[in-house]
């Protein structure tokens, strides 16, 4: 199976999930992450700010942003910048 076919199948499967199923999946994934030794010991965390069709990171970042330092990637032309999380400066980009 080719990469594009795999991506297409995953996208189709994700489209069938209800909002509640998406929320439950995010809660389960981030609950496991919170219990990991790596997360407990980490002070700085590279994360992504989710798009509507991705596993939502918004509640997780909101929950922890006062106790952990989050960094988010930002596409800047052909470069990828990694910037400290600042809720007041978030804006939609090209992706």
44 pLDDT above the threshold of 80: yes
Query: Residue 78 has which token pair?
Result: 């052909």
Structure confidence at residue 89 (pLDDT):
67
DSSP 85: -
Q: For the chain, how many structural domains are there in total?
A: 1
Q: Per the domain annotation, does 50 fall within a domain?
A: yes
**DSSP letter, residue 1:** -
95 within a domain of the structure (yes/no): no
First to last CA, the chain: 26
- Please report, for the domain that includes residue 17, its CATH number: 3.40.50.10420
78 within a domain of the structure (yes/no): yes
Q: For the segment 27-37, what is each residue's pLDDT rounded down to a tens digit? A: 999 999 999 99
- pLDDT over 60 (residue 94): no
Range of the domain at 11: 3-89
Lookup: tokens for 58: 């918004």
Q: Is residue 94 part of a domain?
A: no
Q: How far apart are CA 67 and CA 69, in angstroms?
A: 7
Residue 74 lies in a domain: yes
Please state the pTM of the whole predicted model: 0.76
């Amino acid at each position: 199976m080719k990469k594009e076919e795999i991506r297409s199948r995953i996208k189709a499967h994700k489209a069938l999930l209800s909002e509640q199923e998406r929320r439950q999946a995010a809660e389960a994934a981030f609950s496991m992450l919170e219990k990991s030794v790596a997360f407990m010991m980490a002070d700085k965390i590279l994360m992504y700010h989710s798009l509507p069709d991705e596993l939502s990171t918004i509640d997780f970042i909101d929950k922890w942003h006062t106790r952990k330092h989050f960094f988010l990637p930002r596409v800047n032309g052909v470069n990828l910048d990694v910037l400290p999380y600042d809720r007041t400066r978030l804006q939609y980009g090209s992706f």
